Amino acid sequence: MTLATLSDVLQPALRDGYAVAGLVTLGWEDMRAFVAAAEEVGCPVILQAGPGCRAHTPLPVLGTMFRHLAENASVPVVAHLDHGYEFDECQEALDNGFSSLMFDGSRKPLQQNIDETARIAEMAHAAGISCEGEVGFVGYDQGEASAGTNPDEAAKFARETGVDAMAVSVGNLHLQQDRTGGLDEDRIDAIAAVTKGVPLVIHGGSGVPHDQRARLARDTSICKFNIGTELRMAFGQALRTAVAKDADRFDRVQILSDVEAPIAKATKLVLDNLYTK
């Protein structure tokens, strides 16, 4: 299976009533487990390199890893830059084989966000890849507060940027470790009504209850849920178990080989929940 763009996987999701998971990667073990889970379910998957991942591993290395996995997978795999903040960073990702760019100008004034996102979208489309933007700021659990997406601003943003997907702030939070909250479905409906044909994206999907994820994937234009914290927590638990299994074991490859199966199992639960064709 060849590398896919974001539009390649989100437009069928919009048409057929399901969502694709944007999985936040940090290393080879979780990337490989994510693709293995997607192959088991038989659904597309989006591998995402966020700021934390990029601080640990350079973009040229990540692009090669993502493309290698995509080219050897039996399902569509998107190589996605998550939360690119600068034009040059997005250009570097494009130059290193990424098939999708997410430019995040959500902290900026609306018109500046539109102008800068439109420039990234134009660059991406000229290269035959996709672009995601964000309007309304998605905050952080125990951190920066959100600024909810205004439907009128969302309509203007979608129309003037030409993005292939649009991240919105509708009660979601990054880094949320529980699912006691939920999304504002009235706001989602209002945004969807004025941005028809544009797949919507939920960042901070780990904090959304599973039943709401599944229902919104089926019944609305939300076509992508970003999942990071939920699977990082699964990784942490699996790693603790692997280390405790043998106090004399020190080889990282041996230790990490015990981590992939539990991550793949947790990932499969996420994918099964969203992919309900």
Which active-site residues does the annotation give? 82
Strands (E), the chain: 3-4, 20-24, 45-49, 77-84, 100-103, 130-135, 165-168, 200-202, 222-227
Instruction: Indicate the length of the chain as a whole number.
Output: 277
- 8 A C-beta contact, residue 214 and residue 276: yes
> Which residues, including other chains, have CB under 8 Å from residue 5's CB and lie 6 or more apart?
78, 99, 100, 128, 129, 130, 164
Which has the closest alpha carbon to 71: 19, 134, 20, 4? 4
Between CA 16 and CA 49 the distance in angstroms is 27
CB 53 within 8 A of CB 62: yes
